[in-house]
Amino acid sequence: MSPLLALVCLAGLLMVLLYLSGVRRRRPGEHPLVRGWIPYFGKTFEFSRDGQSFLKRLQEEHGDIFTVLIAGRYLTFVMDPHVYPVIERHGKHLNFQAFAMQGSELESMIESTTKHLHRVIIRSVQDVKGAISGDENCNGTNGWKTGSLNEFCLATTFEAVWVTLFGSTNVDWLDQEFSTKLLEHFVPYDKAVPLLAANVPISLLRSSRHHRAQLATLLTPSSLSRLKDRSSVVAARTEVINSNGNLDDRQKAAYHLHFLWGSMSNTLQSIFWSIYHLLLHPDAQRAVNAEVTAFLEETGQSPRLGSPLRLGCHQLDSMVALGSAVTESLRLTASTLTIRVAQKDIAMPLPNHGTLRLRQGDWLTLPPYTSLHLNPDVFQEPQTYRYDRFMEGGKPRKTFYKDGRPLRHALMPFGFGATKCPGRFFALLVDKAFLVLLLSHVEIELCPGQVPVEADVSRGPFGVLPPKGDVQFRYRPRPGLAE
C-alpha cells in the first residue's frame, strides 16, 4: 500500500471513529431513539417531505413517545394529547418567551385593520363597477370579474395588515405600491424559511438571499421613517431597536423582518383557506352569510363604498358560525409544532407513559396536527371540512374527547400555554374581519371546473400550510351596494 493511500485510509478511519464517538446512544429509561444513517441530518429529509405520515409511522413502530435526530437536533415527540397539560405544568424547566397583543391594544388594531381592509376591498369593488362594460376579465357575464384567489387574498391582506402594523403614507397609491414591493420579495423569502430553519446556510440559497436583502432595504429606519400612525406594538419595538447603539441599519431591518414574517405568514395562508372552504362548501357560505346579514341588521348598518363597517372584537367573536368555519379551516391546515427546550436534564413522570427523560438541550416537541387535528379518535372524518364542527346548539363547542376522556387541548393551531403565538388573537380576528367585509360587499363564487387545492405538506411544521396551487374565482358588487 502506498504511503498516500495509507494516509487517506487512516484519515477516513479517524473520521469514522470521531463520528461514532459523538453518536448519541439510548440510555436506560429513555424512550426509543431514531437517528437515521445520515450524520447530523438524521431523518430531516423524511420529516420535511411529509411530517404527518412520518410521525404516524414512527408512532406505530415505537409508541407515543420517541426521539428523532433532525437537522442536528434531538426532538422528542409526544403523541398522546392527554399528557400535554402535565408537560405544560413543567414549564419552569423548559424555556420560552412570550408576549401577546390583547385588550385595548388589540381592539385598536382590529379597528385600524378593518378600516384598511375596507379600503383595499373597496378598491377591488370599484375596479369591477368601473369595468363592467369594458374589462376583458368580466367576460360579459353580469359584471362578474375573475381572478386568482390566492393572489387576491395575498395582495389584499398583506397591504391592510402592513399599514395597520407599520403605518401609512396617507396616500393610497403609495401604500399600495410599497406593500406590493414588499410582497414581491416576502412570498419567495417565506418559501425558503423551512430550509433556513433546517440550518441550510442562506449563502447557498442565492434567490432567498436576494429577496432577504431587498426586504432589508425596504425595512431600514430611513425607509420606515416616512410612515405615520404605526401600531403601538411596532412603535415600542422600534424605540427599543433604535435605542441600541450597537445595531446598524441592516441589523435593525432584520428585527423588523422577523416581526413582519411572524405577523404575516400564518395570517396570509389562513385567510386563503377560510375563504376557499366557504367557496367550496355552499352550506358553509350560506350560514356565514346569514350571520353577517343578521349582524348588519342588528347594528343598523349598511355596507357602503365610502365608509367601513363598525366592527370590533366583540362583534366578531359573537358570530358563532363564522368562528366555527375559521377554526375548522385552521384544524385542517395549521401544522405548527409546539417546541420547548430542556434547560437541564429532566425526568418528568407522565401518566401511562412512565418517565419522560430529556437531556439538556433536547427539544420537547408536541405535534398537534398529527396527534389532535387529524386524529380520527378526536374528530370524526378528520380529513373532511365541516363548518359547524366547532359549534353546538348555537354556541361555540369547546369540549372534545379522546378514548372517552375530555381533552384540555383539542385544537392547538398556535401552540398552547405560555408558548402560544403572541399574535394569535390578531390573526384570528383579521381572518374573521376579512370574511365579514368581503361577504358583505361582494358576491363571490368559484369559477366552474376548478381542481381542488391541496395543502403543501412539504412546508413542514411552520404554521398554516400554504396551498399547492391556486383557483380561479369570480366576484361582483352586491346588488344595491351604496356609495
Q: Give the residue, 174 or 126, on which the prediction is more confident.
A: 174
The model's pLDDT over 262-282, given as tens digits with 9 standing for 90+, comes to 888 889 999 999 999 999 999
Residue 165 lies in a domain: yes
User: What is the per-residue DSSP string for 254-270?
Assistant: HHHHHHHHHHHHHHHHH
Domain that holds residue 287: 103-337+379-477
Confidence class for position 453, pLDDT limits 50, 70, 90:
very high
- The number of residues in the chain equals 483
Residue 342 lies in a domain: no
**pLDDT for 101:** 40
Residue 6 lies in a domain: no
Task: Give me the amino acid identity at 41.
Answer: F
Q: Tell me the percentage of the chain whose pLDDT exceeds 70.
A: 83
Residue 440 lies in a domain: yes
Pairing of strands 395-396, 391-392: antiparallel
Residue 423 lies in a domain: yes
Q: Which of 1-15, 74-88, 134-148, 394-408 has the lowest mean pLDDT?
A: 1-15
The model's pLDDT over 310-338, given as tens digits with 9 standing for 90+, comes to 888 888 889 999 999 999 999 999 988 88
Residue 141 lies in a domain: yes
Q: How many domains does the chain have?
A: 1
Task: Of 463, 466, 438, give the one whose Cα is nearest residue 122.
Answer: 438
266 belongs to an annotated ligand binding site: yes
Residue 144 lies in a domain: yes
d(CA 40, CA 171): 51
The model's pLDDT over 352-400, given as tens digits with 9 standing for 90+, comes to 999 999 999 999 999 999 999 999 999 999 999 999 999 999 999 999 9
Residue 183 lies in a domain: yes
CATH number at residue 277: 1.10.630.10
Global pTM value: 0.86
C-alpha cell at 57: 409511522
Average pLDDT of 340-359? Answer: 91
d(CA 233, CA 161): 13
Residues 6+ apart with CB under 8 A from 316: 110, 322, 429, 432, 433, 436
Convert 122-169 into a string of H (helix), E (strand) and C (coil): HHHHHHHHCCCCCCHHHCCCCCCEEEEHHHHHHHHHHHHHHHHHHCEC
